[in-house]
Chains A and B, each alone.
Chain A
């Protein structure tokens, strides 16, 4: 009897030790604890691994049917997702999800490389953050699978349709403007003041400063800002007034130099252009602000333009410009900085007014047509807002679902 008991005890301890060896190698299992019997969960079934659709590659979608032990108070605490490059290869954990979840996206699957997957249903017990025991059962293998890139993200079809409508409207109105049909543009006070501001600097015999913000050429506000710079520089060249453009990005410096140079050529004054009119200061936000503040105080420009993308330096710059009595015209799309410009500058181009400026100042049919096309896009949005709010308020139809964008 004693011998039988001893044999059973030895067998039980051997099995328990073998089960404990399967524990997650990343966690230290307290060797004084062993998993009790009948705690190993049933493995998951119907494991599938396929390329995650609608992406640029690099991710695999893994799905499975929950373990039958994945119930409340059941034997599954979480699932481990295991990956290998060959079916016989060593499987390593690439992620885990809590019980109740039946899918995982492996975002670290190199595009074009084949992988094999397994999912382990895990049952573990912790006490005060220390792992006491852990058992798991691995599923059958799924694979090989490799991630590929798709040309189209079909979940964003609504964005595509919206873009087609908007671009279509812009093209239609550009063609209409080119055919000679007049396009009305309402008065924008900030832009009407540009000539007055340049003229003031001329009368006072002082400089004009143009600050294109602290962003690089990959920011549309910077693009809008330096487009306006062309018009301002041309006026300055015609009036023979010095315009200075301190910048904080090397690419902006190159673009601004080209634009100012071209403006001087257009004004018939290529000889008046100096390379150092557009100069680099520093990429650092507050270093740039400190340098411009110093220049404002020492050179006391009559006119300052702040047109581009600004952050916390906006008020520092605008307040200094205000303190020296310069006429200031600002414009940005940064809604957190606009209040400061409104408070400290004479004129402020709010958001889209900045983007409309080039059309407004140049009156070129192509740009005016584009502006009109955008307005028509806004009209469609206004109608959608009106109709959608009424329909949703009275539970008739949920129009907002068509505008939902999946990131």
Chain B
């Protein structure tokens, strides 16, 4: 059975990789099976995790009847299948969108604004507040200046209500350059990590399947 599984995995791996050459019947078959099985798998997973695990078990075991409100919103969503009253499905949708925006605004503000500002507000010439001036190493000082200037000019670039002209435009230009350099580094780093995924698949093909790598 294990051998059959390995052969099946190899069949699908090669089928998906065959897309690199061109679209073909093998890829189409693998794609359709992949999409179909994954959709079915997620349906079952979500059913057992959410409807059974988070709803039914909590209702029956913990008697957490507040969940019935959420369940009724879920049922309302299904009313779109009945065209005359399908408009009711907009209510839970509005609830989800509104609640999401409200809940996340605090988290985003805390993590993307407050924490970012706190981390950028640092002494340029010393390791921490209170240390003697110029006590940090030259490398640290240069690093601190780059971080502070990069954050400042990067933020200037994301100003939408002022035209990027003159000194302001110059700062915005430095900002976008900083962002692009960061993207370059990030690109290289991510490609490197994707290589490990490819190596993993190749290891499977040549090791587990063909047995050429021990």
Interface residues, chain A, with chain B CB atoms under 8 Å away: 156, 158-159, 162-163, 166, 183-186, 188, 217-220, 223, 251, 254-255, 258, 280-284, 286-288, 290-291, 293-294, 297-298, 312, 315, 335-336, 338-340, 342-343, 350-353, 356, 360, 371-372, 375, 378-379, 381-382, 384-386, 388-389, 392-395, 398-400, 403-405
In the bound assembly, the distance between CA atoms of A291 and B28 in angstroms comes to 9
Pairs across A and B, CB under 8 Å, 27 listed: A159-B110, A163-B109, A217-B100, A251-B93, A282-B39, A282-B42, A283-B38, A283-B42, A284-B42, A286-B34, A287-B38, A294-B27, A339-B187, A371-B161, A378-B155, A385-B151, A388-B117, A388-B121, A389-B120, A393-B133, A394-B133, A398-B129, A400-B117, A400-B118, A403-B115, A403-B118, A405-B118
Question: Which partner residue on chain A sits nearest B96 by CB separation?
Answer: A217
- Chain B residues within an 8 Å CB radius of A338: 183, 186
Alpha-carbon distance between A330 and B111 when the two chains are bound, in angstroms: 24
Q: A339 to B184, Cβ gap below 8 A? A: yes
Interchain CA distance A216-B123 in the complex, whole Å:
40
The answer to whether A356 and B186 touch across the interface, beta carbons within 8 angstroms, is: no
Complex: A404 Cα to B30 Cα, angstroms: 50
Residue B130 lies at the interface, judged by CB distance under 8 Å to chain A: yes
User: Does B159 lie at the interface of the complex (its beta carbon under 8 Å from any beta carbon of A)?
Assistant: yes
Which residue of chain B has the shortest Cβ distance to A183 in the bound complex?
B161
Smallest Cβ distance from B60 to chain A, in angstroms? 18
A217 and B97 form a contact (CB under 8 A) = yes
Assembled-state Cα–Cα distance A111/B42 (Å): 34
Complex interface: chain B residues within 8 A of A251 (CB):
77, 93, 96
Give A10 Cβ to nearest chain B Cβ, in Å: 53
Contact with B96, one of A218, A351, A392 (Cβ below 8 angstroms): A218
Roughly how many angstroms separate A375 CA and B115 CA in the complex, as a whole number? 19
Residues 1-29 of chain B: 1 if any A CB is under 8 Å from the residue's CB, otherwise 0?
00000000000000010010001000110
Task: Confirm or deny: B88 has a beta carbon within 8 angstroms of a beta carbon on chain A.
Answer: no
B179 touches A395 (CB 8 A): no
Query: Which among B34, B41, B105 is the interface contact of A290 at CB below 8 angstroms?
Result: B34
- Chain A residues whose C-beta falls within 8 Å of the C-beta of B113 in the assembled complex: 162, 381
**Residues in chain A near residue B115, CB distance under 8 A:** 403, 405
The residue in chain A whose Cβ has the minimal distance to the Cβ of B163 is A186
Q: Nearest Cβ distance between residue B122 and chain A, in whole angstroms?
A: 6
The answer for the CA separation of A114 and B23 in the assembled complex, in Å, is: 66
B59: interface (CB < 8 Å): no
Cβ-based interface call for B190 (8 A):
yes
| List of 6 A-B pairs having minimum Cβ-Cβ separation, nearest first | A284-B38, A287-B38, A283-B42, A339-B187, A400-B121, A403-B118
- Asked if B104 and A158 make an inter-chain contact with CB atoms under 8 angstroms apart, the answer reads no
- Size range of the chain B interface in the assembly: 35 or more
**A336 and B161: CB pair below 8 A?**
no
B190 and A336: CB pair below 8 A? yes
- Known A-B contacts A290-B16, A381-B155; the reply to A375 vs B162 at CB < 8 A is yes
Q: When chains A and B are docked, how far (Å) is the Cα of A353 from the Cα of B159?
A: 10
Which of A166, A291, A392, A393 is within 8 Å of B109, CB to CB?
A166
Residues of B within 8 A of A382 (CB): 152, 155-156
B192 at the interface (CB under 8 A from A): no
B106 CB within 8 Å of chain A: yes
Contacts of A353 in B (CB 8 A): 158
Taking a contact as CB atoms under 8 Å apart, the answer to whether A282 and B35 are in contact is: yes
Is the CB–CB distance between A400 and B122 below 8 Å? yes
- B105–A163 touching, CB < 8 Å: yes
Q: Is the CB of B133 within 8 A of A395?
A: yes
A72 to chain B, nearest CB (A): 29
Give B122's nearest chain A residue, CB to CB. A392
